[in-house]
Amino acid sequence: MQTEQWLYIGVFLVLAPLLPAAAILIPRLIAPRKPNKIKQDTYECGMETVGETWIQFRVQYYIFALVFLIFDVELVFLYPWAVAFDVLPMFAVLEGVLFVAILIAGLVYAWRKGALEWR
Amino acid sequence: MIPLSWYLIFAAALFSIGLFAVLARRNAIVILMGIELMLNAVNINLVAFWRYVNPELIAGQVFAVMVFAVAAAEVAVALAIFISIYRRRRSVSADEIDLMKW
Amino acid sequence: MNLSNASASLNAILPLVVVILWACALLLVDLFITKERKGLTALLAAIGMLASLIITLARLDLEAVVFNGMVTVDGFSNFLTVLFLGSGIVAVALSYDYLKRMGLEKGEYYVLLLFTVSGMMLMAVASDLIVVFLALELLSIPLYVLAGIATPRLDSEESSLKYFLLGSFSTGIVVYGIALVFGATGTTSLAGIVDAITAGSAGMGLLVAGAAMLLIGLGFKVALVPFHMWTPDVYQGAPSSVTAFMAIGAKAAGFAAILRIFIQAFPALSVDLTPVLWVLAALTMILGNVVAIAQRNIKRLLAYSSIANAGYILLALVPYGQSDVAADSVASALFYLLAYAFTSFTAWSVVIALEQVEGKGLELEDYAGLSRRYPILALTMTVAMLSFTGVPPTLGFLGKFYVFRTLLEGGFPGLAVIGVVTSLISAYYYLRVVVYMYMREGEPQAIRDPWLYIAATASAICLVVLGIFSQPLFAWASQAMLH
């Protein structure tokens, strides 16, 4: 049983690099090559690229990003709470409500401070 | 089943990589990434211990959730500090932030 | 946990609940307070902590184990809660005028102060490693921000960055230690850990490794040598009012965690840990005091002094494994923390009074001639320096006396000798400040802020008066023993 599992992994280890290598090498050998400017361009979902690739983003993004990061990760506590909502004792339900209230207080603060406005 | 020690070795390796980043690298962002690696190693440890040592007690999982929720708060504060410094210094290298001697 | 159970739990930690809810409310209220009237925010913050302090004082003998054993309210936690709330209130008094002078008036300052105080209070009651971790973060993260609140001043930002990097690094080590302890014992509750050790079901190798990492991580927080290198820079760069609070609150909270965890959960590991504590304490006292001699900047000097003091507090912990000494260990450590808090606040309020904008007025030379123009400030600073040195009848002397006595009871005369010798060394740089104030000519500049003067003189008077009538205070600290 144990060795059989290892055998599978071994087979995959060999196959995994082979397949993409073949997919890259075979076209290189047999495909015709007719480069022109449009083909050489960076592919960006069909749009033409504008300007340099390495630009700095406006710093406004970062406050959004930070606020988002906090609210996003704090949701990890709400998820189990929401799933077990109907079997939780009253106290735990109220705890969850309190948690949301604290998050809302934080949101109100960010909002009043103008962190959600685009300036 | 994979033995517990494998997880522990993996977590210890991850922790050591994070430790190395903190001690040897000079860019504050890389140091922060190292700290995050250390916390992730902790999470692996916690979940592995929970599963192998005491699966009835949910504490290990809960703790892991706490760790990464708190880590997010830490990162938010850290990035705010970094950006505030970067705006003036154009650099977040710990070498160049040397107004006071270490 | 049902509702009546829950309300009993919440009632037990009522002071903490008050501070946290007050902080959340203040965050929102402050949005509607104009920039010219931030004094109102300061007042509100002080009122919140005062209310919490009154609740705590009204039921000092409360003992309860609540939240399924995650939180323990006992004499130890009550003592420290009073210490933290008192420090918070004094910190507000020191901050108000200072922030105005430095142009740092931000309502968030007081809100963050409340949050970090609540983290410290949580640390005092924590009897589960998960709660210890949460408390550690709740007290550290606001302090990272507070250290950098003087942005765009570069030294403040730099201090914040360094404090953050070292602080979160040490947190990482602490949680790794907690994870190992959890793995060794299968539980995070301190009582559960003791049970696992007595039952013999704990993996001792893992447990010792975990305890060692906890000690290293918390050693960073309280600035033990060799984990101290961030302290001088952070203390120097942060705004002085923040540094004053950091030097007292963060250190006391770190020691609260160390005392609670080691004395309650790890007495069985003392064979392995006592030599380590011995070396750490000796190194911390020697290096802190010797390097302080070279400092000319008063904030750096006090930073090294705080490192040295961490060494003295750690002395109390060295014999923690001997069950007949453990109670004295806790009592003398708590008493020392209290003495240190009074002394530090006295010294820092004088520093704040003399500090000028742009970080001027912080060199030793700026204290020359202080006795002539500001005799009260000079006198309070002198009392603080004498107390730091450990000259009777100040509180600082008794703090050291009780610590050394605990050490002798535990049978560590060698370490006690090192402690006494380093205290003598410290006299050189503490008394040098006094010499500058009284024997050198100079034109010192200080401000006259009533709150600052009240804080400085009151704590200086306490240093002497409580030093003379210390018996009830030490009796109170002795009741705070851990079970």
For C149-192, write each residue's pLDDT tens digit: 988 888 888 899 999 999 999 999 999 999 999 999 988 999 99
- The answer to whether the complex's ipTM is over 0.90 is yes
Nearest CA to C336 out of C405, C395, C381, C295 is that of C395
pLDDT at position A47, please?
72
From chain B, the residues in CB contact with C209 under 8 A are none
Identify the residue whose tokens are 């040295």.
C308
And the tokens for A100? 């949301």
Cβ of residue B1 closer than 8 Å to a chain A Cβ:
no
CB-based contact C157:B63 (threshold 8 Å):
no
Selected for mutation to probe chain B from C112, C159, C171, C207 (highest B CB count within 10 Å) is C171
> Does residue C152 have a cis peptide bond before it, meaning omega lies within 30 degrees of 0?
yes
pLDDT at position B94, please?
64
Judged by CB atoms closer than 8 Å, whether chains meet at C2 and A109 is answered as no
**A54 pLDDT more than 70:** yes
User: Which residue of chain A has the CA closest to B76?
Assistant: A66
User: Pick the residue with more confidence: A56 or C8?
Assistant: C8
Question: What is the count of structural domains for chain C?
Answer: 1
pLDDT at position C5, please?
79
Q: What percent of chain B lies above the pLDDT cut of 70?
A: 87
Identify the residue whose tokens are 């709470």.
A81
Judged by CB atoms closer than 8 Å, whether chains meet at B28 and C178 is answered as no
| Shortest Cα–Cα distance, A26 to chain B (Å) | 38
Average pLDDT over residues B23-48: 92
Residue A60: strand, helix, or coil: helix
**Chain B residues 57-86 with a CB less than 8 Å from chain C:** 57, 59-60, 62-63, 66-67, 70, 73-74, 77-78, 80-82, 84-85
Whether residue C446 lies inside any domain: the answer is yes
Phi-psi region of C262 (alpha: psi -120 to 50; beta: other; left: phi over 0): alpha
User: Pick the residue with more confidence: B15 or C327?
Assistant: B15
User: Pick the residue with more confidence: C410 or A85?
Assistant: C410
CB-based contact C204:C192 (threshold 8 Å):
no
| Shortest Cα–Cα distance, B101 to chain A (Å) | 30
Cβ of residue C1 closer than 8 Å to a chain A Cβ:
yes
Instruction: Tell whether A64 and A94 lie within a shared domain.
Output: yes
Q: Where are the alpha helices (DSSP H) in C390-412?
A: 395-410
CB-based contact C156:B93 (threshold 8 Å):
no
Low-confidence ranges of chain C (pLDDT < 70): 1-2, 482-483
Whether residue C349 lies inside any domain: the answer is yes
Whether residue C322 lies inside any domain: the answer is yes
Whether residue C283 lies inside any domain: the answer is yes
pLDDT at position C38, please?
87
- Closest partner CB to C24 (pick from A91, A105, A112): A105
Average pLDDT over residues A3-24: 89
Judged by CB atoms closer than 8 Å, whether chains meet at C27 and A91 is answered as no
pLDDT at position A90, please?
84
Whether residue A118 lies inside any domain: the answer is no
Question: What is the count of structural domains for chain A?
Answer: 2
pLDDT at position A69, please?
86
Instruction: Tell whether A98 and A64 lie within a shared domain.
Output: yes
pLDDT at position A59, please?
65
Whether residue C350 lies inside any domain: the answer is yes
B26 to B75, B79, B95, C164, C167: CA distances (angstroms): 18, 16, 6, 14, 16
Judged by CB atoms closer than 8 Å, whether chains meet at C2 and A90 is answered as yes
CB-based contact C144:C108 (threshold 8 Å):
no
Give the torsion sign (CA, A35, A40, A45, A51): negative
Judged by CB atoms closer than 8 Å, whether chains meet at A109 and C3 is answered as no
Selected for mutation to probe chain A from B36, B39, B83, B88 (highest A CB count within 10 Å) is B83
CB-based contact C214:C261 (threshold 8 Å):
yes
**B8 pLDDT more than 70:** yes
Element spanning C430, H or E = helix C413-439
- Closest partner CB to B35 (pick from C130, C155, C169): C169
CA distance B11 to B24: 20
What residues make up the domain containing C416? Answer: 271-483
Q: Where are the alpha helices (DSSP H) in B25-101?
A: 28-53, 59-89
Summarize pLDDT for B68-102 with one digit per residue, the tens.
899 999 999 998 888 888 887 766 666 666 555 44
Cβ of residue C27 closer than 8 Å to a chain A Cβ:
yes
Nearest CA to C443 out of C351, C350, C371 is that of C371
Cβ of residue B70 closer than 8 Å to a chain A Cβ:
no
What residues make up the domain containing A98? Answer: 60-112
Whether residue C454 lies inside any domain: the answer is yes
Domains in chain B, start-ordered, CATH in brackets?
4-89 (1.10.287.3510)
Instruction: Tell whether A33 and A66 lie within a shared domain.
Output: no
Whether residue A54 lies inside any domain: the answer is no
Type of residue found at C276: V
Whether residue A52 lies inside any domain: the answer is no
- Assign A63 a pLDDT band (cuts: 50, 70, 90): confident
pLDDT at position B102, please?
42
Identify the residue whose tokens are 């965050």.
C27
Whether residue A76 lies inside any domain: the answer is yes
From chain C, the residues in CB contact with B50 under 8 A are 182
User: Which residue of chain C has the CA closest to B52?
Assistant: C183
Type of residue found at C191: A
pLDDT at position B40, please?
94
